[in-house]
Structure 1
Amino acid sequence: MIKNPIRLIPEDKFEMMKNRTFELLEKTGVEAQHSKVLKIVADKGCKVDFDTGRIRFPRELVKECLEMIPKSFSFGDRKGRKYELPTAQGDFFTRGGTGAYYFQQEDGSVRKTVLEDTKTLARLYERIENIDLLAAPFAHDAPEQCTDVHLVGTILKNSTRHHWIQPYNTGSVKYLNELILISANGKKEMLKEAAPMSWCTCAVSPLKYISMDLEVMMYAAEYGTPQHVCSLSTY
């Protein structure tokens, strides 16, 4: 149990990094491969180059947005259980990744993951008391263009636990969102209070967002679904 905040760098260095982040967003910006997103942020006061997809964020606008971020939030599962973050102890728990591609068997051999692995994992998570988040492995035997939809469907059939969705295709995002809504019994307000599923979104290094992740962000913002914002810094 974490009793005190973890401080990896001194306070003065932290402030320097924060200031440089503001400068990076304002002077260099990020690339966004989504015409609708470019229009939205331009209307909000960002400097947008529509030819290159480059967005530059004014420092004061970033500060305003940071002030709007809630200090806590809730997520849930399909049995109606609700989880608050941070916890009552002031800490939180997370995991580092999703979409495992290979499975190491008891004899040490390695094989590709399949849908049956997701089914087994979902049923296992359903029975382990203190695991509240399921991140499904990739399924090599599912159709490539809609692997993510098959993964979510498999989990819905085998577990009521909260599920972290990893999209794999821009075209499937709207269908995944429909599955999220179905998991909340069609109640949009339930997603804002304690969503039974959440999204994984990524920034592709260096400073680039592809259309799929931006599509996810728009659906998440519209429906109030939680996002786990990650960075693919090794790409």
Structure 2
Amino acid sequence: MEGGTFTPLTPEGIRRIHLAALDALEQVGLADAPPSGIDIMTRAGAVLGEDGRLRFPRALVEDMLAKAAKGITLCGRDPRHDLTLGARRVHYGTAGAAVHMVDPHGREYRESTVQDLHDAARIVDQLDNIHFLQRPMVCRDIPDNREMDLNSIYACTSGTTKHVGISFSEPDFVEDGIGLLHMIAGGEAAWRARPFVSNSNCFVVPPMKFATESCQVMEKVIAAGMPVLLLSAGMATATAPPTLAGAIVQAVAECLAGVVYVNAIAPGHPAIFGTWPFLVDLRSGAMSGGSGEQALMSAGCAQMHQFYGLPGGAAAGFSDSKLPDMQAGWEQMCSNVLAGLSGLNMVYEAAGMHASLLGFCHESLILGDDIVGQALRCVRGIEVTEDAVSIEMMRSVCLDGPGHYLGEDQTLSRMQTDFVYPTLGDRTSPKEWAEVGKPDLIAAATARKEEILAQRASARFDPQVDAAIRARFNIHLPQ
């Protein structure tokens, strides 16, 4: 679906942010690029100052924007899950690096495991409104970072055939990760033809510094044909300017540096403009990800992506609440709706995430599917057609008919096209609700989770492929 009806930035505001970002790149620049990156970007036209910072002339930025991929496709292992990015097309999915799982029944937090990650992937695979899975949690039960990265790839891709996003902890782990993906795909050629996993890459450490090792990872995954999410995640008032507009300026500047970097390596390589500015609650220093300000910033970022004509993503739909409660509901709905209405291509963190990205909840992921369904209905908008506003039916009902529309053909046909019905949301009367045992929303989500996980995963690998993978890598998930 296409959004774009919500535009918190005026055309003049967009222009001023763009010009300020260019000024920041030209005058401030970015520090700490790896030697390989310095060589790549200076050969393209960046200038290395005596202070060690790379600065980017406007002409260089404009040249690389002209070379950058505009419309890209993120492939699923199953082609029916392919995502076409660009324009104002909207897709919702998970993301993050939560270190805890939320138990909504015991109201407790525990460390997340590789089984939790695999289960999240299996749940996402069955949810209609969650379009992609970016790894939402860290496998805390695997202390070796190399094994954690490889098992994260395995857990996600064996759980869903939708597009997957993953990270690499160190550059040295990329080769094995790509080797694993070749095995899953059926060879290097098959992988390069349809790369179904992208790299979520925090290539900058705000404010205005490159993350050296992440940049080295980025260089390697680009060579391997993997799409890249260029992720800038500054915290307004801490590692980004305190104003909403200023935080967007810095995120745009940092991601424009990423556009230069990527396209100096491989012009037109698929990359997502990942402006993810966050906010701090100055009363406590905690993140305020569920705030209206966060929703506005993510929507404003979508407008900047559209200004450049680049596929883009930002964070929305996550909550500061520790549990799937009323606070979580209003926070998740607010930012998910505004992100969709703004036409954000990739809405990350859209379901399941709590405690300002520290906790993930399977039940909340399932409930989030309902929230995103309602958000998508808002994105779709109101279709005003000749049939929709025809007074013929009104005339027949009011003048010649029963005085209501319940039996009309249009009512039945529109029931399935104009309305979205929640899977778990309860719309019964109080009397009916009591008669069916006063069902609890969280209990219903748990039942749905158990139903999904009781089934054999449809994304599981061919037994021979799986055996070969397990012979080469230490896979922690049981067979």
Q: 1:182 to 1:5 in 2, by over 3 A?
A: farther
Q: Give the superposed CA RMSD.
A: 2.4
Deviation at 1:24, TM superposition (A): 0.8
Secondary structure of the 1:104 match is: strand
- 2:179 corresponds to: 178
- 1:104 corresponds to: 102
Count of paired positions: 231
- Kindly indicate whether the alpha-carbon contact (under 8 Å) linking 2:92 and 2:129 is maintained by their aligned counterparts in 1: no
Deviation at 1:102, TM superposition (A): 1.0
Gaps in structure 1 of 5+ consecutive residues: none
Hey, what's the Cα distance between the residues in 2 that align with 1:34 and 1:3? 38
- 1:11 corresponds to: 11
Secondary structure of the 1:199 match is: strand
Gaps in structure 2 of 5+ consecutive residues: 240-479
Amino acid at match of 1:164: G
- 1:218 corresponds to: 219
Deviation at 1:126, TM superposition (A): 2.5
The TM-score, its normalising length taken from structure 1, stands at: 0.86
- 1:1-235 equivalence runs, <5 A: 2-49=2-49, 53-81=52-80, 82-86=82-86, 90-95=88-93, 97-105=95-103, 106-136=105-135, 137-146=137-146, 147-188=148-189, 190-191=191-192, 194-202=194-202, 203-234=204-235
Amino acid at match of 1:160: T
Secondary structure of the 2:158 match is: helix
Q: 1:177 to 1:211 in 2, by over 3 A?
A: farther
Aligned identity (percent) is 20
Q: 1:94 to 1:12 in 2, by over 3 A?
A: same
What whole-Å deviation, never above 9, does each CA across 1:56-110 have from its counterpart, x for those lacking one? 11110100111122321101122233321138xx422245741111111022111
- Kindly indicate whether the alpha-carbon contact (under 8 Å) linking 1:162 and 1:197 is maintained by their aligned counterparts in 2: yes
Amino acid at match of 1:62: V
Deviation at 1:130, TM superposition (A): 3.8
- Kindly indicate whether the alpha-carbon contact (under 8 Å) linking 1:98 and 1:166 is maintained by their aligned counterparts in 2: no
- Kindly indicate whether the alpha-carbon contact (under 8 Å) linking 1:165 and 1:197 is maintained by their aligned counterparts in 2: yes
Secondary structure of the 1:212 match is: helix
- Kindly indicate whether the alpha-carbon contact (under 8 Å) linking 2:94 and 2:133 is maintained by their aligned counterparts in 1: no
Secondary structure of the 2:89 match is: coil
Amino acid at match of 1:101: V
- Kindly indicate whether the alpha-carbon contact (under 8 Å) linking 1:32 and 1:38 is maintained by their aligned counterparts in 2: no
Identify which range, 95-104 or 194-203, moves more after superposition.
95-104
Deviation at 1:34, TM superposition (A): 1.2
Q: 1:97 to 1:162 in 2, by over 3 A?
A: closer
What whole-Å deviation, never above 9, does each CA across 1:184-229 have from its counterpart, x for those lacking one? 33244754x5421011112211111212321232134323322222
Q: 1:83 to 1:2 in 2, by over 3 A?
A: closer
Identify which range, 23-32 or 174-183, moves more after superposition.
174-183
Deviation at 1:5, TM superposition (A): 4.6
- Kindly indicate whether the alpha-carbon contact (under 8 Å) linking 1:183 and 1:196 is maintained by their aligned counterparts in 2: no
The TM-score, its normalising length taken from structure 2, stands at: 0.45
